[in-house]
Every structure is written in C-alpha cells, then in structure tokens.
A and B are shown apart, each in its own frame.
Chain A
Amino acid sequence: MIHSLFLINCSGDIFLEKHWKSVVSQSVCDYFFEAQEKAADVENVPPVISTPHHYLISIYRDKLFFVSVIQTEVPPLFVIEFLHRVADTFQDYFGECSEAAIKDNVVIVYELLEEMLDNGFPLATESNILKELIKPPTILRSVVNSITGSSNVGDTLPTGQLSNIPWRRAGVKYTNNEAYFDVVEEIDAIIDKSDDVSFHPCIRFKRWESERVLSFIPPDGNFRLISYRVSSQNLVAIPVYVKHCISFKENSSCGRFDITIGPKQNMGKTIEGITVTVHMPKVVLNMNLTPTQGSYTFDPVTKVLTWDVGKITPQKLPSLKGLVNLQSGAPKPEENPSLNIQFKIQQLAISGLKVNRLDMYGEKYKPFKGVKYVTKAGKFQVRT
C-alpha cells in the first residue's frame, strides 16, 4: 500500500527515507519539488500529486513534509490518516516532531517505521503497543543505558500483542491508577446547525445508543474518546466581542486602525492566551500602532499583523490603535480585512457539557479520577 516514505524539510532537503518494498529512487521527489515551486508558498503544495509511475500523497506537519509513494489505487483518507499517525508518534516519542529531533533519534525512527508498517501495510500504530516494542528515549534512560549497556528495546514479546483489544495491552500494572478527562471545546465562529458525535472504537456503541452512557475499556495513555459538535442554538454565548474601526480614506496614503477586545459572558472565568492576527490588504506599507497591553508585530512582506494580547482584565479592555500607511497613488482597498482570534478559557466548557459520573468497574483498586474543562477558539473569525 505505502511503498516508500520521504521526509523533506522546508528548504527541500530529503533528510530521511524508508522503503518497505523495493527501493524507489529519490528522484521521484522531483515531482514534489516541482509542485512545491509552482505552489509558491509551502503551505499550498497539494496533498496528492501524480507522477508517471507513482502517486505521491503528502502531509505538511510542523514545517516538515511527509511524502509517501504509492503505486496502486488507495483510499486517500487512509494514507493521510496514517501519515498523521506517524507524525503523532514522533511527537509522542521525542516531544516534538522536528527535523532536529528526528535526526537525533534516527535509529529509533527507523525502528518505529519498521514496526508501524510491514510490506507497506500498517501494523502496530497504537502508542502503548509501540512503547512496549521500542522504548522512547529519555535522558535518564540514556544515562542508565550507557551504564548498564541495556537497550532501548523490550526483550520480551509485548504482552499487548496477545491482547484481543487492539487499543489496550493486557495485564497493565501501575502504582497509581488515574483516569483524567479533558473536555476541550473549540468555538468556530461560523457554527453549524446540527449536533454530531464520533467515537473512539473502544466505546460500546450499542450501549450509547440505548442508554446514552459511554461505556468503554480505556486505552492506556492519551486518546480521543469522543468528538462532538454543538449547534449554535445550544450555545450560551460567544465569550468575546470585538469593537473595530478600520478605515482607509479615499485618495490618501493613510488609514485608521482601532480594535478593542472585551469579554462577553464568561461566567467569571478569565479569557487568556489571546492573539489576534489580521491579514492586511496588499497596499498597506506599514502600520504604526500603540497597544494598551501586549505587543504587536507587522510583517511588511506577508502583510500579517499579529497582536499578542495575553489575558483580558475587564477593568481595562485591551485595545490597539494607530495609523496605517498605504502605498501612495494606489486605489483604496476594496474590502476590510478579517480578524482571526485565538483564546482559551480554563475550567469552562462553553456548551455547558459536563461529565456527570465517572465510574470504573472490574478493578479492586481506587483510581484517581479527574475532569478538566478548556474552551478554545477554533476557527474564529471576525469580519469587519
């Protein structure tokens, strides 16, 4: 299914390759580079490219391209999902999915790729099973290893391989048993009309359908239990508002820019981690602004204004105002730019969703249980 994998950085160096069937020459990536050149911006390289003898399906993650070489007809979503799983695994093992981390751990990377695919088919991809096969690098472990000479590889067969539940190995034993739930909600500014839910395969679907209870054998480690979407009618409120006044004068080389952010209905919780990004029109040369809090940058090449606000204190609302310098003689911009806003509210699920009960059966010990709520901005755009 997946013939080969190439890892390519932003400057176009192939810094790692792995082949599961015959070796495919690096020159196949020339087609990818061609597409990259055509796309101008790295972000715009199409995920599926055809070459005379192969298809290249790629993902772009953390400034790296994972380019897979395919020779037969495949379901595209399957390959894309798998590539993301590979990147997730690197992230999980090395703390970050960067060129440096992959190069530093190249041997582990190869071991991982060897276990994740055989003959081009996905095999072990669950984090907890992989960790049994290949131990992740830690500073302590590498010190211990260098003293004792022991290896990063488990030398017994992973027990999980015998478990009939693919997402959980058998006979897990810890001194502390913990089950924490993070309820993370993201707000899309354009909110959809219907509610939808999708489930991790561990959930007993029939029981959910009949009793509306999420019953499951939990995977060992982090995982996404359910994802859901809530309709706009059920939403309490959009937690922030923006007052904006952006204007460009006709036949003049300057404009006015003024935005203020305030909390709407946030139930006593602080809104924090606010960042505003604005893609200014082409004719904007520079911006001369004063923020009442935080700091701002304007990149005259990409025309992107970024304002790192921090958190909102209701007594003094953060604002950013000043002048915009335009290219003289150019016509005034047709449209005002949209504002993209990022924020976070701890200890609040905006939909009002709560974990009602968390019961564990079949174990004698008492595990630690906990639920944490976070609301974040998803695709939150304010049009001006």
Chain B
Amino acid sequence: MPYLGSEDVVKELKKALCNPHIQADRLRYRNVIQRVIRHMTQGLDMSGVFMEMVKASATVDIVQKKLVYLYMCTYAPLKPDLALLAINTLCKDCSDPNPMVRGLALRSMCSLRMPGVQEYIQQPILNGLRDKASYVRRVAVLGCAKMHNLHGDSEVDGALVNELYSLLRDQDPIVVVNCLRSLEEILRQEGGVVINKPIAHHLLNRMPKLDQWGQAEVLNFLLRYEPRSEEELFDILNLLDSFLKSSSPGVVMGATKLFLILAKKFPHVQTDVLVQVKGPLLAACSSESRELCFAALCHVRQILHSLPGHFSSHYKKFFCSYSEPHYIKLQKVEVLCELVNDENVQQVLEELRGYCTDVSADFAQAAIFAIGGIARTYTDQCVQILTELLGLRQEHITTVVVQTFRDLVWLCPQCTEAVCQALPGCEENIQDSEGKQALIWLLGVHGERIPNAPYVLEDFVENVKSETFPAVTMELLTALLRLFLSRPAECQDTLGRLLHYCIEEEKNMAVRDRGLFYYRLLLAGIDEVKRILCSPKSDPSLGLLEDQAERPVNSWASDFNTLVPVYGKARWATISKYQGAEHRGPELPDTASFATSGPLIPEENKERVQELPDSGALVLVPNCQLTAEYFEKTWFSLKVAHQQVFPWRGAVHPDTLQMALQVVNIQTIAMSRAGAHPWKAYLSAQDDTGCLFLTELLLESENSEMQISVKQNEPRTETLNSFISVLETVFGTIGDIKS
C-alpha cells in the first residue's frame, strides 16, 4: 500500500463512509469503520470523520456500535458540539432490550469526557443502578464516579452516595466491589468510603465469592476498619486465614498486610503470619514472571528488617542464575547480604564471590559491596575474599574493593593490618575518582603500616598535573600531610612539591585554598598540625548507626504491599512529594525551605530553650560525657521506657539539632550525616539524681515522623515525662526555625 499522509487517509475514509453503496453493504461498511479504528490506534488523527462516524452509530450491528462508541470516546473532547449529536443515539440504546447494548451505551456515554454531558447521563445512570442485569449495574456504578469527576469534584450528591452504599448489598460480587471503587473516588475529599462494622463483616462474608482483583481490593479497603474488641479481631483473622493460601500473590500480599495491621498489638500473631506466608512468598520469588519475582523480593527484604533469620534456611532460593535480569540479581544480592548467619555464611560468601567476576560490571560491583557489608560481622573471611579479588587486577573490581576496605577499617579497626597488607600494587589498577580517593585516604591514615605508602603517594604527586578530579588532589593533600607526621623523612620533599604545585599552579580554587591552609598550618608548628589532623582512625560506634537492628514489624506494616518496598521509603517520599500536587486529596504542605545562613537559633528561641531546665522538676546536669562503648552496652541492657513520634518535615540539620540539644544539656553520642536515610541519632543525658536517659531518634524519610525511643536506667515516670517534654520543646523550636 502506498504511504499516505493522515490527511489523505482521512479524506479517503470520509468518502468511503459517505458512499451509499458501502453503507448499504453491512460488511464493507464495517470494514471501513475498522480501518478508521486501526488508524486511530496507531495515533493518526481521525477526528475529521467524526460526523460520519456518529451517523454510523445508528445500527443494529453490535460490533459496529462498539467500534463507533470507542471512536466517539476518543474524539468527543475534541469535537464537543458534534458529540452532542451522538448522545441521542446513546440515550436510546440505554433502554435497548439487550442488556449488553444497554451496558455498552451507558459505559460509552459516561466515558465521553466533554463538558455539558453530565445533564444527559444522570438519568441513564440512575436507571442503570436499578437495571435487572448485573452487567448494566456494574457499568452504572462506575458511571457514578465518572459523572462525579465530570462535575469537577464540586459537590457530593448525597442521595447518590446513599444509593451506592445500599448497593453494597447487591447480589452480584462485581457490583459490590465497583460500589467501593466508585464511593472511594466520589468521597475522596472526605477520606474515601467509610467501612463501619456492618459493612466490614458483610464484605468479609462476601470475600470467597469475589474474583482475585475484588479480593485484593476489598482487603485493601478493610485496612481502615478497626475491630471493636479482641474477640472480633480474632474472628476476622480466622475468616481471612484461607486468603493467605490464595494462588494469586496479590491476594496473599493483601491478606498479609491486613493481618499485620489488624494484629498490630500482637507481635506473635504478626510473626505467625509471616511464617505462614513464607511459602507463597518464596514461590513468588521464583515465579515465572520476572516482575512478580522482583516485587516479591523487595518485600522479602522488608520482612528481613524485622526477622533477620526468617529466610536464612532458604538462602539458596536467592542465588542468582545468569539468565535473570539485572534488577532481580541486585535484589537477591541484597537479600543474601541480610540473611547471612553462622550456618550459611560460608556458602553465601562462596556464591557472592562467583558474582564478583560477572560479565556485568555493575552486578560485580554490587556483589563486592555486599561482601563488604557482610564483612562487618564476618570480617576475616570477607577480607580474605576481597584480597583475592585484588589479584585479578581488574579496574572495576579493584576500585570497589578498595572503597570497601576504606569503609571497613573505619568500622572494624581489627582488620586494618590485613587491609594494609593487601593494598600494595592496587594503585596500578585504579583510574576512577572514587577509587583513587579511597586508596589515598587509606595510605594517608594507615601509611605507617604500609612500607611503600610514601612512594605510591609520590607517584600520584608526579602525575598531579594531569589529575582531572579536584577531589582526588584534595584527598592527596590531606593524606600526604598526615603521612608526613608519621614518616617525615620520606614525605617532606614530596609534600613540598605538592604544596608548591597547589599554591602556584592549580586553577581550582578549593584545592588552592586547601593547599594554602595546610601551608599556613605547617608554619604554625608541627604540634598544631597534629592537633588538627590526627583525628581518630576508626569509629566502631558508627556501626551502631548502620546496624541492621531488628525493627518492629509495625514500623513498616503500613508500607507493605505498596510501592514503598520497591523504591525504598526515602525515594518514595521524594517521588510522592512531586506527585502530591497531582492528587486531588489533601495537599501536602510544601517542604519548608531550610535556612542555612543566619543565626541557627534566633534570640527569642534561645531564651525559651534556656528556660527549659527550670521548667520542671528535672534538672539535667551539664558535661555528662558517656563513651560510645558505654552507651552501647547500657543501651542494649535496658528496655524502652517510652516511645513516641513527633511530626517532622524536611531533612534534619544535624548541627542545628546538636547545638539545640547541647543548650539543654543533652549530649549527642552519634548521629547520621545530613541527608542519610534512615536518619538516626543517639543521645544521652543525666539528671542531678544520676538517672540516665538514653534516647534514639529515628527519621525514616523526609516528611514523616521522628520516632523517639527513650531508655532510663531507673524507672521514674515523672522525670521521664519532663525529659520527653524537654525533647518536645527542642524539636518544636527547631521546627519553628525551619518554617
């Protein structure tokens, strides 16, 4: 067929549609209409034949009717005045003796999406709600929602809503589910459809009759029902039991979530449920559909946050096969990393080691990072594997191994010796900025244990002119100065050359300034340099922050079976923030912009803060300095005395918070860096009677809540309450600054 532009096609089709000979021949007429639809589906603009198509709707042929309706729904918004002509035919069809025609006509009418159509569809919808054919009722019920959307959400028609609520008792299961869907859209402004006790139990009883989609959605609606008594709660759980064994993973997940939410006060019931769905979840993880596998794996990871041992005996299920897509492999590696224990660590590490030489560099690097994660617990074995990987002399492997080493010596100082022995020779296989920075940092901080460290750094200095990453040069400056402190003879000359280069030749201002700063610092004397640069070489307490400590099921139950586990909570918050404006629901307030300049605590607030210690019976003593080790030991030996959430918007600015807490004599033991997710902090304080308050702050993501757990070494409710109110005021004050 010769290629025709869309205009020629429209012209030709228009002629054919008007041709009385073709109109007389049913088959030919329908064929022309089919061609119009075909072009329409390919994205060609077929609105030019609207008039002719409207005429074609007056037919007894259902296929033809269907096609014309389909066409009209697509182009009605473009040709509203012409579409009104079609409404007559549609209205007539809404009272056709054939229920299929009635349904079709009603559905099409409701989908016209053009202004002014509301007044025509209202009566047919109301008739449809009382139609004797369930097919028509299903269409009419959803039509109510479409009609409401056409009105632009202005007002809710109370009578219609009542009618829909009463149709929840319809004998057709799909009508019931459609009523829920429709009410949810119509009542969105008021928080959606209300699930009271009679409705909840009615729905529960109808559950077995619904198809899998209906079941999944009803399970979701039931989340908003709160049983009145424990007895009722367990009755409901019994009714739900069989859905945990459904063949549809969507229903299984829906039922699991409902269980977890309903049983929020019964942790052992929650654990039981997670044990019950272990099988179905594992089956989904090896499902034929790769997308299902992926979604299931994301949920497995979520469960592992609370029950780290839950899937440990099934670790082999999470071994990757080469034909699997990337996103599944990456999830599996994460899962393996989290379920590792004393029994399976050997096999898991062996498996991960195999992935490190995968053809895909991304996957190989993910596997290396995973081994680095496991190294925090099983240090020796992992360091050995990582060292062996260096022997492969592959650039993409070496760089990641060195980065892993850097993080590892910081958290697990006991492996420093082994790492230092592995490092020589690495410099030949590192080209990227991240890898170079990691290597240079290691050489600077632990250079006294690496015989050739000064010479490796010297090589970097030799080539500094051709260095493209300013961050590497900065790191080099710091490292060389540090090493100079422990091995002055070998470094002095090189350091001199580097400083000279940075000050005299370097174009990047930040590098130049750093060079000048170090130069002046050296002029101030070696003791001053030591005071500034000799910071601790490791910080095992950071491990406490990064710790995958068991989180309560309730902290993620509400995210289960949503997109949160797929994206991670932090990323999800960012995404939904964008989308907030799109939703018709209650608008999210804009994230408060954060003022970084100006005084951190305005004068009037400062006064408020300082008044605090006197406000209650509680007097916190200043300078209660606990060591991280002591804090960790005490923290794990005590039970949580109080848990609370404070509303929180935006990111935490650790400096501000730390300063504000210091003002009220609360010391910060450890704190995540700004922007980390989840963000954590550990605080300690002591009152004048010697009672210790240990506090954990946890912010899962931006725009959520700050979770606070307080432990106390002497059970005293009064002082505890005062302590909480102190915290509350501090957070309130910081909130004030931000908004």
Q: Do A and B come from one complex?
A: yes
Select one of B250, B280, B322, B323 contacting A196, CB under 8 A. B280
Q: Which of B204-212, B226-234, B537-545 contacts A (4 or more CB under 8 A)?
A: B204-212
> Which residues of B, 384-409, contact A by the 8 Å Cβ criterion?
392-393
Query: How many B residues are at the interface, by size bracket?
Result: 35 or more
Find B42's partner among A15, A41, A192 (CB 8 Å cutoff).
Answer: A15
How many residues of chain A are within 8 Å of chain B by beta carbon? 96
Shortest CB distance B132–A (Å): 10
CB of A153 within 8 A of CB of B66, answer yes
Q: Tell me how far the C-beta of B75 lies from the nearest C-beta in chain A, rounded to whole angstroms.
A: 10
Interface string of A115-135 (1 = CB under 8 A from B): 000110111011000000100
Q: Which B residues are in CB contact (< 8 Å) with A161?
A: 133-135, 172
Q: Is A143 an interface residue (CB 8 A)?
A: no
A363 is an interface residue with CB less than 8 A from chain B: no
Which A-chain residue is minimally distant from B581 (CB atoms)?
A53
**Docked-complex contact B146 and A73, CB < 8 angstroms:** no
A86 to chain B, nearest CB (A): 12
Contact of B70 with A110 in the complex, beta carbons under 8 Å: yes
Q: How far is the CA of A151 from the CA of B316 in the complex (A)?
A: 54
In the bound complex, how far is the Cα of B208 from the Cα of A205, in angstroms?
10
Task: Using CB atoms, name the residue of chain B closest to A72.
Answer: B583
Are B247 and A224 interface neighbours, CB within 8 A?
yes
Asked if A73 contacts B67 (CB within 8 A), the reply is no
A75-B562, A198-B246, A340-B321 given; A118·B392 CB < 8 A = no
Contact of B566 among A53, A76, A167 (CB under 8 A): A76
Tell me what chain B mostly uses at the interface: helix, strand, loop, or mixed.
Answer: helix
A84 on interface, CB distance cutoff 8 Å: yes
Taking the nearest CB of chain A, how far is it from the CB of B578, in angstroms?
Answer: 5
C-alpha spacing A332/B173, complex, angstroms: 64
C-beta contact mask, A71-111 vs B, less than 8 Å → 1, else 0? 11111111011111000000000000000000000110011
Query: In whole angstroms, how far apart are the Cα atoms of A52 and B577 in the complex?
Result: 10
A315 within 8 Å of B (CB atoms)? no
Interface pair A197/B250, CB less than 8 Å apart? no
Neighbouring A residues of B142 by C-beta, 8 Å = 118-119, 121
Of the candidates B211, B253, B283, B392, the one whose C-beta lies within 8 Å of that of A77 is B253
Verify if B533 is at the interface (C-beta below 8 Å from A).
no
Q: With A22-B113, A44-B327, A193-B313 as known contacts, state yes or no: A334 contacts B357, CB within 8 Å.
A: yes
Report how far A122 CA is from B214 CA in the complex, Å: 8
Contact with A along B274-311 (1 / 0, CB 8 A): 00001110111010011110111000000000000000
Interface: A141 (CB within 8 A): no
Check A155 against B100 for contact (C-beta < 8 Å): yes
Q: Does B174 contact A (CB under 8 A)?
A: yes
- A164–B627 Cα gap in the complex (Å)? 68
In Å, the complex CA distance between A11 and B178 comes to 38
The verdict on B139 contacting chain A, using a C-beta distance below 8 Å, is: yes
- Contact pick for A75, options B61, B181, B561, CB 8 Å: B561
Q: Does A263 contact B (CB under 8 A)?
A: no
Question: Are B145 and A119 in contact, with the CB atoms below 8 A?
Answer: yes
Contact of A77 with B41 at beta-carbon distance under 8 Å, contacts A153-B63, A198-B283, A334-B357 already known: no
1/0 contact string of A185-204 vs chain B (CB within 8 Å): 00010101110111111000
B486 at interface by CB-CB < 8 Å:
no
Are the C-beta atoms of A200 and B247 separated by less than 8 Å?
yes
Cα separation A229 to B146 with both chains bound (whole Å) = 45
- Looking at the assembled complex, report how far the CB atom of A46 sits from the nearest CB atom of chain B, in whole angstroms: 5
User: Which of A81, A153, A162, A192 is in CB contact (< 8 Å) with B314?
Assistant: A192
* A59, B212: Cα distance in complex, Å: 19
Contact with A along B230-247 (1 / 0, CB 8 A): 000000000000100111
Q: Does A282 contact B (CB under 8 A)?
A: yes
Partner of A118, one of B41, B138, B325: B138
Chain B, range 1-52, C-beta contacts under 8 Å to A? 26-27, 34, 37-38, 41-43
* A286 interface hit (Cβ, 8 Å): no
Interchain CB contact under 8 A, A151 and B61: yes
Answer yes or no: A262 CB below 8 A from chain B CBs. no
Let me know if B359 is at the binding interface, CB within 8 A.
yes
Chain A residue numbers with a CB within 8 Å of B596 are: none
In B176-235, the 8 Å CB interface with A consists of 177-178, 181, 208-213, 215-217, 220
Contact of A164 among B66, B209, B295 (CB under 8 A): B209
Q: Is A153 a contact of B62 with CB atoms below 8 Å? A: yes
| Chain B residues closer than 8 Å to A107, beta-carbon distance | 34, 37-38, 63, 67
Query: What residue of chain B has the Cβ atom nearest to residue A46's Cβ?
Result: B327
Q: Contact between B316 and A190 (Cβ–Cβ < 8 Å)?
A: yes
A75 & B253 in contact (Cβ 8 Å cutoff): yes
With both beta carbons as reference points, the residue of chain A lying nearest to B561 in the complex is identified as A75
Of chain B, the residue at the smallest CB distance from A77 is B250
Which of chain B's residues 131-183 have a Cβ closer than 8 Å to chain A?
A: 133-135, 138-139, 142, 145-146, 171-174, 177-178, 181
Is A369 positioned at the interface, with any CB of B under 8 Å from its CB?
Answer: no
The docked-state distance in angstroms from the alpha carbon of A118 to that of B134 is: 15
Contact assessment for A60 and B290 in the assembled complex, using a CB-CB cutoff below 8 Å: yes
Interchain nearest-CB distance for A335 vs B (Å): 5
Question: Which B residues lie within 8 Å of A338 (CB)?
Answer: 321-322
CA distance A192 to B319 in the complex (A): 12
Inter-chain contacts of A199 with B (CB < 8 A): 245-247
Interface residues of B in 321-343 (CB under 8 A from A): 321-323, 325-327
Which among A45, A47, A201, A282 is the interface contact of B295 at CB below 8 angstroms? A47
Please report the C-alpha to C-alpha distance between residue A83 and residue B290 in the assembled complex, in whole angstroms: 12
Contacts of B357 in A (CB 8 A): 333-335
Q: Given A151-B62, A334-B357, does the pair A164, B171 have CB atoms closer than 8 Å?
A: yes
Q: Are B41 and A110 in contact (CB under 8 A)?
A: yes
Task: Using known A-B contacts A39-B326, A164-B173, A193-B313, determine if residue A71 contacts B37 with beta carbons closer than 8 Å.
Answer: no
Listed residue (A71, A121, A155) with the most chain B CB atoms within 10 angstroms of its CB: A121
Is there an interface contact between B323 and A50, defined as CB atoms closer than 8 Å? no
Determine how close the nearest CB of chain A comes to the CB of B415; give it in whole angstroms. Answer: 23
Instruction: Establish whether residues B26 and A149, one from each chain, have CB atoms under 8 Å apart when the complex forms.
Output: yes
- Which B residues are CB-close (under 8 A) to A52? 578-579
- Residue A266 at the chain B interface, CB threshold 8 Å: no
Contact with B along A260-301 (1 / 0, CB 8 A): 000000000000000001010110000000000000000000
Q: Are A335 and B296 in contact (CB under 8 A)?
A: no
**Is B283 a contact of A48 with CB atoms below 8 Å?**
no
Query: Does B138 lie within 8 Å of A16, measured CB to CB?
Result: no
- Do A111 and B314 touch (CB < 8 A)? no
Does A198 lie within 8 Å of B245, measured CB to CB? Answer: yes
Q: Report how far A83 CA is from B26 CA in the complex, Å.
A: 35
CB-CB under 8 A from A22, the residues of chain B are 113
Chain A neighbourhood of B41, CB < 8 A: 16-17, 106, 110
| Whole-angstrom distance between the Cβ of A20 and the nearest chain B Cβ | 8
B550 at the interface (CB under 8 A from A): no
State in angstroms the CA–CA spacing of A375 and B289 once bound together: 20
Docked-complex contact A229 and B283, CB < 8 angstroms: yes
Asked whether B100 lies within 8 Å of A156 as measured between CB atoms, the reply is yes
Kindly provide the distance from the CB of B472 to the nearest chain A CB, expressed in whole angstroms: 26
* B102: nearest chain-A partner, CB-CB: A157
Within 8 A of B (CB), among A146-197: 146, 149, 151-158, 161-162, 164-167, 188, 190, 192-194, 196-197
- List 29 contacting pairs A-B, 8 Å CB cutoff, sorted by A: A39-B326, A43-B325, A55-B575, A57-B291, A75-B562, A76-B295, A76-B561, A78-B213, A81-B292, A107-B37, A110-B41, A111-B66, A118-B138, A121-B142, A153-B100, A155-B100, A156-B98, A156-B100, A157-B99, A161-B133, A161-B134, A167-B211, A192-B317, A196-B280, A197-B245, A198-B280, A198-B283, A200-B247, A379-B286
B interface residue numbers (CB < 8 A to A) = 26-27, 34, 37-38, 41-43, 61-63, 66-67, 70, 74, 77, 98-100, 107, 113, 133-135, 138-139, 142, 145-146, 171-174, 177-178, 181, 208-213, 215-217, 220, 242, 245-250, 252-254, 278-280, 282-284, 286, 289-292, 294-296, 313-314, 316-317, 319, 321-323, 325-327, 354, 357, 359, 392-393, 561-563, 566-567, 575-576, 578-579, 582-583
Extra contacts, 4 of them, besides A166-B211, A192-B317, A335-B354 (Cβ < 8 A), are A46-B327, A193-B313, A227-B247, A340-B322
Closest 5 CB pairs of A and B: A196-B279, A122-B213, A47-B291, A44-B326, A205-B242
